[in-house]
A and B are shown apart, each in its own frame.
Chain A
């Protein structure tokens, strides 16, 4: 435990990444796969789960080895570990579904450079015991998956009238083609960020108003 920092409970550690430090909406990390593969809910969730797998596996290993990894070569070590899990997940996805593998394409291999993962290894797993690291990684992975799903869901609903491949509006639905094209990713991400920041700003606006009533807006 780091001195001077409030010790979080295990549950808080888990929830950290889901909401307060959400990798997509709060930290805005790992945008490359976020924008590229979120054309459908299925792709988004697959990518989220793959990233979660790598995240959990690598932080667990990093945390286990945290006391033996020399600081001079820690980044190299982390990258080797992360790359290992990316390779593993690459094989797993090929074994489970080639369709998903083709849809995600190079972005599976690119998980290795997803800054969420190296960030978690360096900032969290290298300083915390395995259980807490895994909890934190699970939360982050869940947050990432939720973020990707939020994008992929909206893009698939508007862009194809479907969700997870199931038609929602019948055959006459007019797809918004732009939503499955790259600009659509930016539009939807922008809209979600707007919503998130608006919610957060309402919260922070409301917070100081409590002690001094009647002076909400100065």
Chain B
């Protein structure tokens, strides 16, 4: 054989032992991190969602997540069943239904444009628009949330259903700037037609799927499902808020979490308390 001395080969047992050790250490680290951040992450997600919903439905104080399926509507669980459409029901202080919000998404000029729109069951119309995420050209595509004239389209955008409740009476359509004639048309932004069209398509797609499932079941949503949400003990947070985001929503977040501990097997006895600390910190950030 060759004259080079082969380096000593590590026995398999040692390798397995070391890898086992490393894997254990890493596993413990990950689980610790997951446990430690879970409540804060959920609270964060809730806050972000509420912010988005409150923006399109002014005056709302509480949000619940639902899914609409062919068999009816139900509170959103961890997994969304096949063919179901997620939406958010917003309630005011007194627990009355303020409006419905849902997300729509369509390919824009650069990337997918995701929007949140408010649906008013009484008017059968879209009554508000917020942008969840987009990467359109700054200065052009971002007019979809800065252009007053464009946002006027969404003060009463007609999305009523056809008489058989199976489809929209009129598909939401984006038309060339300055040629809007019907209540279901969106007047595009001059120079940002592609992005405007993405917004229209996103709303149309979402409304087309959601509304036929939602409208027959609207009665069930008329009042907030958990009346005790308001009676829960509020932690002593500083009063006041910014941008439509009030202390009430944090209260709700906390009660929501304490009433529905997320994924029981993963939530340790101390988890909630830890979560409180995180949220207190977050609340300071938000209210300051």
Contacts and interface: CB of A to CB of B under 8 A. Distances in A.
Contacts of B36: 91, 95
Q: Which of B10, B22, B133 has the most CB of A within 10 A?
A: B22
Given A72-B10, A84-B30, A95-B278, A77 B18 contact: yes
Contact of B37 (A68, A72, A73, A94): A94
B12 to A, nearest CB: 10
A97 B33 contact: no
B137 interface: yes
Interface in A151-188: 159-160, 175, 177, 180-181
Interface string A93-118: 01111110010000000000000000
B25 interface: yes
SS class of chain B's interface: helix, strand, loop or mixed?
helix
Q: Which of A65, A76, A95, A97 has the most CB of B within 10 A?
A: A95
Contacts of A175: 138-139
Interface residues of B, number: 30
A193 interface: no
Interface stretch (B39-47, B209-217, B241-249, B256-264): B39-47
SS class of chain A's interface: helix, strand, loop or mixed?
helix
Contacts of B40: 94-96
A98 B250 CA distance: 16
21 contacts: A61-B25, A65-B22, A68-B18, A69-B22, A70-B10, A70-B15, A72-B10, A73-B18, A77-B18, A80-B22, A80-B26, A81-B26, A85-B29, A88-B30, A94-B41, A96-B40, A98-B44, A98-B45, A98-B47, A99-B48, A181-B137
Given A70-B18, A77-B19, A180-B138, 4 more contacts: A72-B15, A94-B44, A102-B133, A177-B137
Interface of B: 7, 9-10, 14-15, 18-19, 21-23, 25-26, 29-30, 33-34, 36-38, 40-41, 44-45, 47-48, 133, 137-139, 278
